[in-house]
Structure 1
């Protein structure tokens, strides 16, 4: 195998892993939302983890905390911009195993974003159903968990794993 073929194979593996994770995230998110639609009456709470989490299905026409209600074009644009930026990063990404945590994290971010986009396109709203009882927190779904966890992991990766010069490929 030539060096060029090894490079292409490595990029292909990274792309395949990215695509598989994104697909699994979207499938899991959509499956859980289908279960919520089938088994949870609208706005009726059911205990899930007593004192910690309850299940309550709501239809969210905005973002977290009820912001930007009904602004679908804005959400489509933001999702498209994020997806385009991630594709750009993946295209420019050096083919080193060191960047695999970044690829995996980007996949969870995009999987979550696309899961909620599917709802917005198909239903005109996002199905949320997890409610965290101990604090007043917005009702959320599996896609929101993927996006939130990816954001937290990004902070950890950028603060403790990667060095600033390792992102010079984006310049």
Structure 2
């Protein structure tokens, strides 16, 4: 559990520091193309959810953030890292990403976004931050654990029982 908390703190501080860095070097809404068609950096304010969805719903997001942190915290606290490493790590990432954007929302009333990757399908035109990436990583890890690893474990257990 200590390792999980340390990783959460590290990811939140990294997200916080990177956001503050971009705010310090870019004017609001200023954009700099790093690699044409591939990577842009900027300083934007997101009053919505990840990737700019549901703009202006701050009370809703505060409530959802608290509920999510409670649920993620419960699942992290009750997970067994020795037997469910990917599952546990998914909740570490979900908590860190939620906290990263939640801290911005609480302190500033908006989330600082700074990265755009136009070449990406679906999200290429959206501006995001490290906390968004951390959240998506947590979702992917949870999906991998629940849909793939658990299925493989059940299949292996079933095969073992059939051979007995």
Q: TM-score, normalised by structure 2?
A: 0.83
Task: Report the aligned-residue RMSD.
Answer: 2.0
Does the Cα contact within 8 Å between 2:73 and 2:91 map onto a contact in 1?
A: no
Aligned to 1:62, the other structure's residue is in SS state coil
Q: Gaps spanning 5+ residues in structure 2: where?
A: 155-164
User: Greater relative contact order: 1 or 2 (C-alpha under 8 angstroms, separation 6 or more)?
Assistant: 1
Cα drift, residue 52 of structure 1: 0.5
* Structure 1 stretches lacking a partner, 5+ long: 1-14, 167-171
CA contact (8 A) 1:53 1:132 kept: yes
- The within-5 A match list for 1:3-82 is 15-82=1-68
- 1:49 to partner: Cα distance: 3.4
**Correspondence for 1:6:** none
User: Given that residues 65 and 102 in structure 2 are in contact (C-alpha distance below 8 angstroms), is that contact kept between their aligned partners in structure 1?
Assistant: yes
Please list every run of at least 4 consecutive aligned residues from structure 1 whose deviation after the TM superposition is greater than 3 angstroms. Answer: 163-166
Q: How many residues align?
A: 151
Query: 1: distance between equivalents of 2:45 and 2:67?
Result: 24
Q: What does residue 122 of structure 1 align with? A: 107
Counterparts of 2:39 and 2:91, CA distance in 1: 27
- Cα deviation digits, residues 25-70 of structure 1 (max 9, x gap): 1000000001011001221211223430100211011113533222
Shift of 1:73: 1.3
Query: Could you tell me how far apart the structure 1 residues matched to 2:50 and 2:39 are?
Result: 17
Distance 1:96 1:145, change over 3 A: closer
